[in-house]
Structure 1
Amino acid sequence: MSSESSDFSSSHPLEAEGPEAEQAKGDRAPRSRLISRVLTPAVKLWLRSQVEHIEDLQIEIASGDRQILSGYLPRIVLAARKAIYQGIHLSQIAMTGENIRVNLGQVLRGKPLQLLEPIPVTAELTLQEADFNASLQTPLFANAVIDFLTDWLGSTDAIGEEVTTEGPLNLQNLQVKLLPDALILSSQIRSASGEAVPLIIRTGLSGQGRYLRFEKPSWLPHLNAQRGIPLRELDGYVLDLGETVVIEDLTLSSECLHCQGHLTVLPG
């Protein structure tokens, strides 16, 4: 199961000694206990229920006394490694959620934490090459690639051979290779004669708003080819990530894809 580290440490400025200082510490103690003993475990349990795997989960909850008691959390910051969310493998994640309302009264009675309203979240994600290839092994992403290639192969002769698109597309050795400013999607596909035909597409990738966009894709004769045949029909092709996602920055390198943006986490 996932491993978790302790919460972010909280530091406070030096305080004067005396009755007033002791009173301030006493006022803060219930809040600290409520966060450490109730809220943090409840949030971690809820997060684990949303993902298939997560490691080194760290959480910082910022809230005042009255806000906590009303179930309002102004800000939660989290960081983790090796998360798997809906089949997506992520090497690193860092998120900040704001204006969070939860069912604190029920949590205090031992019920699971629930979101009462949508949460705006600022997110920073890192996917390594191994993350892409692990994600492609899941039915969700393998089927998405198959659907995309089936539509495209039915309207192009870029392969130069007749490829059957009747029935399910049989892809073998589906892989992604990361390059500076581009990625390569490679596989083998059966031609109409039954022979294995290499399928290799190199493309840049950009993100804007809810869309991922192909930039100057080309068909490669082999993985190490420096030049390919431009696939003009795919240039500008967009993948819609949904209305809850906003991409602000996306960077591809030979080591990883790094993405920053916003998303909305919905109750339920």
Structure 2
Amino acid sequence: MSMSQKSEIISKILSPALRLWLRSQVDSVEDLQFQISGRNRHILSGYIPNVSLNSTRAVYQGLHLSRVRLEGENIRINIAQVLKGKPLQLLEPVKVTGEIHLEEADLNASLSSSLLSNAFTDLLSMLLELSGQPQPTTILEKYRLSWHKVILNADKLVLHGTIVDALGNEQPATIRAGLELVNHQILRLHPIEINVLPKLFPISLTQLQVDLGDDVELEIVNLETGKLFCCGRLIVRS
């Protein structure tokens, strides 16, 4: 196979297949740019040494992201099937490094997604449990909890919502927390201020450490007025 034929395979088959796969991973994206790096003989064996990606205004499972920059290395794909017109698949987990920029408007647009709203509700359940409340999930099921506004300040994140009981009585629900990294996989929320049915749930907790799991390694979490920036590494699984 000549060099021109190999280059044509990469440009006309692999690049569109990769673009299609990337777009299939998100709900929508305004601008998606990527670059494949590596020798033809490696790529044609199903091994991609490096892929760099930049996107703006992407939506992933309802989560809005202003800007995303990612770089994946040592990627193995089903190249034989791709050359036959089949969808691209990852054959092994991929280590990805990069950064994500979130604006306050992104988080507010994301509150309607189950991914973010459930994460905030799970956070509240965890806070209740650590404060000594037995069976917090069961307790919260008796109420209708909704989150409707996020405010990003330079020193803390503020989450506003409402909690409604079975009789339709509505009260405000508020969580305020600063963010800081303990290490690459532990995120500390400190100080924490919780105001959710204070007479029923008196919470004296002042901090919470969240384990992000083995697939995530954060280097930077920077909270500014109206913006949140994260930089680190993660593992993308097929």
TM-score (norm 2): 0.83
Letter in 2 for 1:242: G
The 1-side partners of 2:43 and 2:129 are apart by: 57
The SS at the match of 1:90 is strand
The structure showing larger relative contact order (alpha-carbon pairs under 8 Å, at least 6 residues apart) is: 2
Cα deviation for residue 86 of structure 1 reads 2.6
Cα deviation for residue 49 of structure 1 reads 1.4
Letter in 2 for 1:246: E
Q: Give the number of the structure whose alpha-carbon radius of gyration is greater.
A: 1
The 2-side partners of 1:166 and 1:107 are apart by: 48
Letter in 1 for 2:76: R
Structure 2 residue ranges without an equivalent (≥5): 133-137, 196-202
Cα deviation for residue 145 of structure 1 reads 2.2
The 2-side partners of 1:197 and 1:111 are apart by: 53
The 1-side partners of 2:129 and 2:18 are apart by: 47
Letter in 2 for 1:139: S
Cα deviation for residue 151 of structure 1 reads 5.1
Letter in 1 for 2:216: V
Q: Residue 47 of structure 1: which of 22, 31, 46 is its match?
A: 22
1:125 matched residue in structure 2: 100
Counting aligned pairs with the same residue, the percent is 43
Query: Quick check: 1:181–1:251 contact (8 Å CA) kept in 2?
Result: no
Letter in 2 for 1:259: C
Cα deviation for residue 156 of structure 1 reads 6.1
Higher mean displacement: 135-144 or 56-65: 135-144
The 2-side partners of 1:261 and 1:76 are apart by: 16
Is residue 182 from structure 1 mapped to residue 152 from structure 2 by the alignment? no
Query: Quick check: 1:249–1:261 contact (8 Å CA) kept in 2?
Result: yes
Query: Quick check: 1:35–1:61 contact (8 Å CA) kept in 2?
Result: no
1:132-171 counterparts in 2 under 5 A? 132-150=107-125, 152-153=127-128, 165=139, 167-171=141-145
Cα deviation for residue 232 of structure 1 reads 5.1
The 2-side partners of 1:191 and 1:105 are apart by: 57
2:76 matched residue in structure 1: 101
Decide which structure has greater strand share. Answer: 2
Cα deviation digits, residues 207-241 of structure 1 (max 9, x gap): 33233320212357xxxxxxxxxx75141x13333
1:257 matched residue in structure 2: 228
Change (3 A) 1:178 1:114: same
* Equivalenced residues, count: 226
